[in-house]
Structure 1
Amino acid sequence: MSLIDQVKQVCDRLAPHGWRNLFLQHGLDIAATDLKAELTKELPGINRNLKGFEDFAFEGIRGIEAGNPARSLLYHAIASPNVTEVGGKELEVFPTLAEIESIENYVFGVEPPSLADLINRAQGDLMAIVVFASEYRPAPETVHRKHADMCFSRTGVARVGTAEAVYDAKNRGFIPFVEGNDYAFGVLPARYSAYIAVQLNGNEDVFGPMNFNFRRKRPELFGRGQEIDQNRQFWVPLHKIFEGDECIRGLDLHVNLEANHLNEKLRRVHLELRKKGHDTGWSEPDINNPPFVFTERIAEWSSDPDYGTGLLMPVVHANLVEAATYQNRPLTFTVPPSPANGFAPSLLIESNGPSRPAPEYVHVRHLVRPDGTIVDLNDQANVAEEVRRGGYQAQHYLDFTADGWIDAIVPELANAFPRQIPAYSMVTAPDFYPNCDQRELLEWWLQRVPSALRSSIWGQVPPLTLSDERLAPNLQLEGANFRAEDDTVTTIVSLPSRGFVRQMPLEVAQTTRHAYLPDAAAGVFAPGWDTSVDTTDNTNHLAAYGLGSPFPEDAKLCAALSAFWPAVAPDTGRSFSATFATVSPMTDAEIIDLPWDGVAGPKVVVRNNQELVEYTRFQHVDYVDSSLNQKFSLALTGQVDVNEYTSRVLAMARAYQAIGISSNREALAVLSFRAVDPNEGELQEAQAQTGVRLQGNLYRFEFYRRGRELQHDSDITKVYYEMLDRIVLFVGAPPRIIARVNNGAWQTVRTN
Structure 2
Amino acid sequence: MIDIETEALNVLRKWFAAGWAPVFARYGIEPDFNAPLEALRESLVEPLQLHAPLATLHRDDPLVRDLALDAHAALCPNDPAKSIVYHVWAGPHRTHGLARPSLRELDVLENYLYLLGRHEPLPDEPLAPIVLAYAYRERGATAHRLHADMVYSRVAITRVGTREARFIPEDQAWEAWAGDGFRVTRARLGVFLCRIVDGEAGNVSILDTADGDTRRSFALPVRKLFAGAQYPDMPPVHSIGFRGYFLGDKLKRVIDVSGASVPGTLDLTRAPFINEARIEVSAGASGRDDGIELDAFDGACVVGPRPRDRLVSIAMQEEQIARFTVPPRDGPPSLFRGHGIDEGNISFNRHYTSLQVPSSKARLLLETAFAQLEHVFPALLDPLPKTRPRAAPEYVNMRHRVEPDGRITVLGNTLPAGEYEAQLDAGGFEAAMFDDGVMDGAVWAVIDGVPTSAAFVLVTAPDFFPRADEEDLQAWGETNPQRAASHRFKEGGPTPLSAGRFVPNLLLNDPWSGEPLFAKTDDTVAALVSRPVPPEAREHVPPKVADLRRHAGGFLPDSASNEFAPGWDVSYDELDGTYYYTTHGLGSPYPEDVKFCASANAYWPAASPDAARTFERPGIPTAIPMLDDELGFHPDSLHGTPDAKPGWDGEFGPFFQALDGVAGVNSADVRRSDYVYNATQHTFASRVFDLSSEELIRRMEALNACLEAIPKAGSEMPSETDYWIVSATCGRSGDSRATHYTFELCVPDNGRAQTVVSRAVTSAAAPGHWRLWRPVSERVKAECRFDGPDGLVPRLVRYASFDETTGMYGEWQQRELR
TM-score of the superposition, structure 1-length normalised? 0.86
SS at match of 2:440: strand
Corresponding residue for residue 344 of structure 1: 352
Counterpart among 722, 725, 729 of residue 674 in structure 1: 729
Corresponding residue for residue 230 of structure 1: 214
Name the CA distance, whole Å, in 2 between partners of 1:207 and 1:348: 42
Verify: 1:587 aligned to 2:595, yes or no.
no
Corresponding residue for residue 22 of structure 2: 21
Corresponding residue for residue 627 of structure 1: 679
**1:462-517 Cα distance to aligned partner (Å, 9 max, x none):** 52111101111111223343111211111111245655448599999845576111
Counterpart residue type for residue 289 of structure 1: R
Map 1:605-644; keep pairs closer than 5 Å: 613-633=665-685, 635-637=687-689, 639-644=690-695
Corresponding residue for residue 398 of structure 1: 435
Over 3 Å counting, the alpha-carbon distance change for 1:408 and 1:83 in structure 2 is same
Name the CA distance, whole Å, in 2 between partners of 1:92 and 1:566: 35
Is the contact between residue 658 and residue 751 of structure 1 (CA under 8 Å) also seen in structure 2?
no
Verify: 1:92 aligned to 2:98, yes or no.
yes
SS at match of 2:190: strand
Counterpart residue type for residue 669 of structure 1: W
Name the CA distance, whole Å, in 2 between partners of 1:555 and 1:30: 54
Corresponding residue for residue 46 of structure 2: 41
Counterpart among 364, 383, 404 of residue 398 in structure 2: 364
Is the contact between residue 238 and residue 495 of structure 1 (CA under 8 Å) also seen in structure 2?
no
Corresponding residue for residue 537 of structure 1: 576
Stretch moving more, 611-620 or 126-135 = 611-620
Name the CA distance, whole Å, in 1 between partners of 2:566 and 2:345: 15
State the 1:564 CA deviation: 6.0
Verify: 1:300 aligned to 2:304, yes or no.
no
Is the contact between residue 400 and residue 410 of structure 2 (CA under 8 Å) also seen in structure 1?
yes
Name the CA distance, whole Å, in 1 between partners of 2:22 and 2:72: 19
Map 1:451-530; keep pairs closer than 5 Å: 451=482, 455-458=486-489, 463-479=494-510, 480-495=516-531, 498=534, 500-501=536-537, 510-512=549-551, 515-530=554-569
Counterpart among 303, 324, 330 of residue 333 in structure 1: 324
**1:361-415 Cα distance to aligned partner (Å, 9 max, x none):** 1111110111212111112224343222111001111111111111210026x4x
State the 1:128 CA deviation: 1.7
State the 1:454 CA deviation: 5.0
Name the CA distance, whole Å, in 2 between partners of 1:99 and 1:504: 32
SS at match of 2:77: coil
Corresponding residue for residue 154 of structure 2: 154
Corresponding residue for residue 576 of structure 1: 615
Counterpart residue type for residue 588 of structure 1: D
SS at match of 2:671: helix
Corresponding residue for residue 683 of structure 1: none
Counterpart among 429, 447, 450 of residue 461 in structure 2: 429
Verify: 1:703 aligned to 2:745, yes or no.
yes
Percent of residue pairs identical: 28
State the 1:541 CA deviation: 1.1
Name the CA distance, whole Å, in 2 between partners of 1:347 and 1:745: 49
Over 3 Å counting, the alpha-carbon distance change for 1:613 and 1:370 in structure 2 is same
Name the CA distance, whole Å, in 1 between partners of 2:463 and 2:178: 14
State the 1:327 CA deviation: 4.2
**1:1-27 Cα distance to aligned partner (Å, 9 max, x none):** 533322332233322443111111110
SS at match of 2:442: strand
Corresponding residue for residue 242 of structure 1: 226
Verify: 1:206 aligned to 2:203, yes or no.
yes
State the 1:171 CA deviation: 3.1
SS at match of 1:8: helix
Is the contact between residue 729 and residue 743 of structure 2 (CA under 8 Å) also seen in structure 1?
yes
Report the number of matched residues: 698
SS at match of 1:645: helix
Over 3 Å counting, the alpha-carbon distance change for 1:548 and 1:705 in structure 2 is same
Name the CA distance, whole Å, in 2 between partners of 1:330 and 1:710: 35
Verify: 1:381 aligned to 2:416, yes or no.
yes
Name the CA distance, whole Å, in 1 between partners of 2:524 and 2:252: 28
Is the contact between residue 610 and residue 622 of structure 2 (CA under 8 Å) also seen in structure 1?
yes
Stretch moving more, 450-459 or 542-551 = 450-459
Counterpart residue type for residue 6 of structure 1: E
Corresponding residue for residue 686 of structure 1: none
Is the contact between residue 354 and residue 526 of structure 1 (CA under 8 Å) also seen in structure 2?
no
**1:117-160 Cα distance to aligned partner (Å, 9 max, x none):** 43xx1x33x32210100000000000100000000001111111
Name the CA distance, whole Å, in 2 between partners of 1:334 and 1:515: 40
Which of the pair has the greater relative contact order for Cα pairs under 8 Å at 6+ separation? 1
State the 1:107 CA deviation: 1.3
Stretch moving more, 663-672 or 191-200 = 663-672
**1:236-295 Cα distance to aligned partner (Å, 9 max, x none):** 111111123567776242111111100000111111122xxx545569x93222111111
State the 1:724 CA deviation: 3.9
State the 1:556 CA deviation: 0.8
Name the CA distance, whole Å, in 1 between partners of 2:258 and 2:724: 38
When the two chains are superposed, the root-mean-square deviation of aligned CA atoms in Å is 3.0
SS at match of 1:310: strand
Name the CA distance, whole Å, in 2 between partners of 1:549 and 1:587: 29
> Structure 2: which 5+ residue stretches go unaligned?
50-54, 278-288, 332-343, 364-386, 511-515, 634-645, 759-763, 786-792, 803-808
Over 3 Å counting, the alpha-carbon distance change for 1:250 and 1:534 in structure 2 is closer
State the 1:106 CA deviation: 1.2
Name the CA distance, whole Å, in 1 between partners of 2:16 and 2:83: 18
State the 1:444 CA deviation: 0.9
Is the contact between residue 133 and residue 155 of structure 2 (CA under 8 Å) also seen in structure 1?
yes
Verify: 1:55 aligned to 2:66, yes or no.
yes
Is the contact between residue 433 and residue 634 of structure 1 (CA under 8 Å) also seen in structure 2?
no
SS at match of 2:444: strand
Name the CA distance, whole Å, in 2 between partners of 1:538 and 1:43: 56
Counterpart residue type for residue 642 of structure 1: S
**1:337-356 Cα distance to aligned partner (Å, 9 max, x none):** 12342632110112334211
Corresponding residue for residue 381 of structure 2: none
**1:530-583 Cα distance to aligned partner (Å, 9 max, x none):** 111111001111111011011111111110112766654210000126463000
Is the contact between residue 265 and residue 292 of structure 1 (CA under 8 Å) also seen in structure 2?
yes
Counterpart residue type for residue 771 of structure 2: K
Over 3 Å counting, the alpha-carbon distance change for 1:252 and 1:625 in structure 2 is same
Is the contact between residue 191 and residue 445 of structure 2 (CA under 8 Å) also seen in structure 1?
yes
Name the CA distance, whole Å, in 1 between partners of 2:483 and 2:532: 39
**1:185-211 Cα distance to aligned partner (Å, 9 max, x none):** 000000111111121111323322222
Name the CA distance, whole Å, in 2 between partners of 1:507 and 1:273: 43
SS at match of 1:78: helix
Over 3 Å counting, the alpha-carbon distance change for 1:492 and 1:3 in structure 2 is same
Is the contact between residue 175 and residue 514 of structure 1 (CA under 8 Å) also seen in structure 2?
no
Name the CA distance, whole Å, in 2 between partners of 1:420 and 1:341: 48
SS at match of 2:682: coil
Over 3 Å counting, the alpha-carbon distance change for 1:458 and 1:30 in structure 2 is farther
Is the contact between residue 315 and residue 321 of structure 2 (CA under 8 Å) also seen in structure 1?
yes
Name the CA distance, whole Å, in 1 between partners of 2:178 and 2:296: 19
Over 3 Å counting, the alpha-carbon distance change for 1:421 and 1:497 in structure 2 is farther
Is the contact between residue 46 and residue 61 of structure 1 (CA under 8 Å) also seen in structure 2?
no
Over 3 Å counting, the alpha-carbon distance change for 1:231 and 1:577 in structure 2 is closer
Is the contact between residue 56 and residue 504 of structure 1 (CA under 8 Å) also seen in structure 2?
no
Counterpart residue type for residue 529 of structure 1: W
Name the CA distance, whole Å, in 2 between partners of 1:328 and 1:612: 48
Over 3 Å counting, the alpha-carbon distance change for 1:424 and 1:113 in structure 2 is farther
Over 3 Å counting, the alpha-carbon distance change for 1:247 and 1:298 in structure 2 is farther
